[in-house]
Each structure stands twice: as C-alpha cells, then as structure tokens.
Amino acid sequence: MESTVRDCYVVWERAHTHLSSIRTERGRALNDLLPALGDRLAAELAPLEVDEYRAARARAVTRRGRAPTVATVNREIVLLHRVLNFAVSRRLVAANPIKGAVKLLREPPPPDVVVDERGIAAILAELRDEQARAWTILAFESGMRRGEIRRLCWHQLDWDAGTIDVPGAHTKNGKGRVVEFPARSRAALAALARPGDRVFTRHPRHLYGLYVAAVNAAGVVGADGKRTTWHALRRSYVTLMRRRGVQESVVMRLSGHRDRSVFDRYNVIVHDDIKAAIEANAAGRAKEIAQLRTAPRRPPRQSPSSPRNARFASCPML
C-alpha cells in the first residue's frame, strides 16, 4: 500500500519528538496541512495541489480575524517539504514530488520597529506586572526568543558571570549558546518568586496582553508606524548591538542566528543609520584630506650639479 501524506507525517513526527518546535509543527500539520492534503498519495502529490492549498489558506480566517500571513503559509510548506524529504530517506516514496517545483512565497520586509533605551523606558513605565516587566527586560537585553524565555529555568542563570546558558533543547536550531544576563535583567528576575524551577509561571498570552497594553499606553511605534511586539525586542537587540560597534559575527553568535540571510532581516537599517554612515564617511574623508595637507613634503629632486651626481656628470658617454 502506498503511503499518504498523513502516513509520511506520522513517521516524521515519531523521529522528531526531540525538537523544541514539535508542538508548533504538530499544530501546523493537524490544523491545516493534513486536513487538506493528508489523504493524498505522497508520491502523486502535484505542485498544482499545493498552489490550490496556498490559495485556500489566503482566503481563510484565523482566530485573529484575518488571513494567515505569508510567513505562516511558508512555514507550512517548509514542513511539507521536510516530511516528504524524510519519507524519501525512509523509502516510503521514491522522490519528493514537489521538490524544485514549489517555491516559497516572497515575504514582505519585517517592520522597521527598533526599541531603544528611551522606548523601553516608556514601556516599562506603563508595565506594572513583575513577570511581564522581567520578561520584557530580559528579551530586550539578551535577544532570547520567546520560546527560550518561556522555558527558562533558574538553574540556567549564572548570577556571578552575568550569563544565561540556553541548551539546544530550548533553541530553534537545536544548538545551545550563552547569552547576556545584564544587571538590569538580574535585578528584575531576582524580584520574582521561585515556586519551582521555571522562572516564568504565568501563561505567555496573559503576559503578552499586559505588554501590548503597556506599548499602546506608551505610544511606542516603529518608523513605519507599526506597534512593537515581543519579537521586535529581539530584532532591537541585534540592531542596537550592531550600532554599538559589535562585530556582526559576534552578534550572530549571541543571538543564535546561523543563516546570514535571516540575520539580515533582524539587522534593521533605517534612515538614521544611513545618515550616521554618511556622516562617519565624511568625517573620515576630511581626516584623510587634513593628514595629506599636514604631511611633510618630499625633498626636492637633486640636480645633476649636486655632489651626489657630479661623478655621473663627468663620466664619458659610451
């Protein structure tokens, strides 16, 4: 009996239960992919059927009252590719039938929302809940992902060294790393109660609701007028480190970005960055010109009558 897309997914999930994102992937599969394509024979899945699936998803209405974003639909197609490629490795199908034929849709650029120290101070002034404040400060100062903060445990914190050990089981790419744990974050977390090993015991949706209310009250928006989100704090961390002169390779190591193209989406370049670059370039150019003007001049060339050239002048011509 030939395998269906659902059969391939079941095999893929059993082999990937260790992924920190498995709950999210399971939700994508059970809620959207499998109801639409699960009964299709994996070997006979046509690119046209995937196109029809994406068109249907563009007309759907999510629980937020609007159609899913392009990024959401792309994540679903990425999952479908992974499932089919894994099915090929397990010899459930001979080949991935949509490989090379179904490309990801072009995603719109990320919002130009960079929260600086003035912005975070305005947000914190409106945020009274201790856990929501601690989560916001930690996201702003460490660049950790939402899932990494949600799973954060007390034993991961090194209070003396000022670092946090993020294990690979908590990261998106499965690679562990060490992140910053500055003094302001340490003070915010030290004020929290410790009923168990988990640092944050409240549901993330509740904390995010408090954060959104504080952002709206503070009026913090990006250059495009869009409201900042928790994820924008991670983008702000990357951008501010780059502005402060930290090498981009080091920023990528701290933020956990392994792909340069993904990092570039987080490294926001706005008008002020362009203006600062122009001013820095102009200052450097002026400095170089000034050094040329003040540099000692080269000594004049010696004439044939000088003592050094006298012996050459008296030599007979050959």
Residue 15 has pLDDT above 50, yes or no: yes
Q: Count how many domains the chain has.
A: 2
Q: Quick one: which of 164, 149, 175, 154 has its CA closest to 230?
A: 149
* Domain co-membership, 224 together with 144: yes
* Domain co-membership, 121 together with 85: no
| Structural domain contains residue 203 | yes
pLDDT in tens, 34-57: 999 999 999 999 999 999 999 999
Residue 288 has pLDDT above 90, yes or no: no
- Give the whole-angstrom CA distance, residue 42 versus residue 45: 5
| Structural domain contains residue 302 | no
| Structural domain contains residue 301 | no
* Domain co-membership, 27 together with 157: no
Contact in structure between 266 and 175 (CB atoms under 8 Å): no
Mean pLDDT rounded to a whole number for the chain: 85
Longest dimension (CA), the chain: 105
pLDDT in tens, 73-116: 999 999 999 999 999 999 999 999 999 999 999 887 766 678 88
* Domain co-membership, 44 together with 151: no
Average the pLDDT over 149-164 and give the result.
Answer: 94
Q: Two tokens at 82? A: 């992974």
| Structural domain contains residue 61 | yes
DSSP labels, 221-270: B-TTSPBP-HHHHHHHHHHHHHHTT--HHHHHHHHT---HHHHHHHS---
* Domain co-membership, 184 together with 74: no
Return the pLDDT at 318.
44
The domain boundary, picked from 50, 73, 89, lies at 89
What φ, ψ does residue 136 adopt, rounded to 5°? Answer: -65, -45
| Structural domain contains residue 27 | yes
- Give the whole-angstrom CA distance, residue 166 versus residue 150: 12
**Interaxial angle between packed helices 248-255 and 230-243, expressed in degrees from 0 to 180 and rounded to the nearest 10:** 150
* Domain co-membership, 59 together with 144: no
- Give the whole-angstrom CA distance, residue 202 versus residue 193: 12
Question: What domain range is 166 assigned to?
Answer: 117-271
- Give the whole-angstrom CA distance, residue 55 versus residue 105: 12
* Domain co-membership, 132 together with 258: yes
* Domain co-membership, 40 together with 146: no
pTM value? Answer: 0.63
* Domain co-membership, 65 together with 202: no
| Structural domain contains residue 109 | no
- Give the whole-angstrom CA distance, residue 84 versus residue 263: 27
| Structural domain contains residue 99 | no
**CB-facing half-sphere around the CA of 27: CA atoms within 13 A:** 7
| Structural domain contains residue 125 | yes
Residue labelled with tokens 């790393």: 177
* Domain co-membership, 264 together with 132: yes
* Domain co-membership, 25 together with 160: no
CATH number at 178 reads 1.10.443.10
* Domain co-membership, 183 together with 255: yes
